[in-house]
Amino acid sequence: MSGEEQKYIREAFDTNWIAPLGPNVDAFEKEIATYVGVNEAVALSSGTAAIHLALSLLEVTKGDKVFCSSLTFVASANPILYQGAEPVFIDSEPDTWNMSPQALEKAFIDAALTGALPKAVIVVNLYGQSAKMDEIVSLCRAYQVPMIEDAAESLGSSYKGKPSGTFGEFGIYSFNGNKIITTSGGGMLVSNNFEALQKARFLATQARDQAIHYQHSVLGYNYRMSNILAGVGRSQLAVLHERVESRRRVFENYVRELADLPGFKFMPELEGTRSNRWLTALTINKKEAGVSVQSLIDSLSELNIEARPVWKPLHLQPLFKGVTYYKHDEAENVSETLFFTGICLPSGSNLKEEDQMRVIDCIKKSVKLKV
């Protein structure tokens, strides 16, 4: 916590704005929109809700296809299923670990040949690192397919000086408890399309028609953020810059201490981008390092230190068995390689230096014992 949350929470109680909507919600939306430089923002109950509303606004429906990054958390793709649509998964590329423009182009070519272009493309900025936006935006424009930028993990990051989450028709952020700033649970939908986000507000509040009685003409959702949680978000946003700097310091400490270990390769930062380094992630070549990802996770766990593999690609998930998947190229399946060789280390903004050194010392000992 930033230390200022109680000020906004107390204000909500003192003014009796406890239910969803209220002054904190209005202010949080304006502050996020100003921070990332867009026309409008809508505060919601989760990042998943934001993706769902974006798909709904783009009129994605049963039978439609949606291209989506494969190396991501399941929440990026679940809303595609909510709409009755069909996901098509796109591999990563080595420079950012994000959606491969090469694989995306192949998917577009095949879709155009069959006369079934996707209704949308969902691009994820993994672990805070922006995807290759120039190439991806260019492809989406060429095929006239709108892009949704899943910036759940990348608030505070930038691509060529432009804030992450502002490149698509819609951008989404998450304020889940594990994100760089949090409202406990929550999300934000952003866009320069003012009319679309006005409709998003309508849909997010059960799509209630303007009538004295309760009347509903279209399907709506209960997706609005509470005024109390929005107050937490306002306080957190004020320290976002500090959080980014803290996470980047954590990442740099790991690199300084571990980058020279055999077989260790940290997630890259594409030239012209600045990652918030939400999580410190790296790959381990088992032959060179003498340790596997799982054995290292086990060694850390024995010292009560939690580490995890990188996201399991969605095309490997039982939920999406049989879904079409486009590899980076015939010889390289990047997302699968990253999954089998990748590890995420403790990366919290409040991670103490002595605790980080415990992690580093354990890793060094594990490698030394095995080599």
Q: Which positions are catalytic?
A: 179
DSSP 8-state secondary structure symbol assigned to residue 219: -
Edge-to-edge strand ranges of the sheet holding 158-159? 162-163, 158-159, 273-274
Question: Per the structure block, which two tokens stand in for 292?
Answer: 């596997």
Q: Which residues have CB under 8 Å from 266's CB, separation 6+?
A: 251, 254, 255, 258, 259, 280, 281, 282
Radius of gyration of the chain (CA): 21
Asked if residue 309 lies in contact with residue 368, where contact means CB atoms within 8 angstroms, the answer is no
Closest CA to 100 of 147, 136, 154, 138: 136
Asked if residue 131 lies in contact with residue 72, where contact means CB atoms within 8 angstroms, the answer is no
Q: State the CB neighbour count (10 A cutoff) for residue 272.
A: 12
- d(CA 90, CA 109) in angstroms, rounded, equals 13
Pair type for strands 280-284 and 342-345: antiparallel
- d(CA 357, CA 246) in angstroms, rounded, equals 15
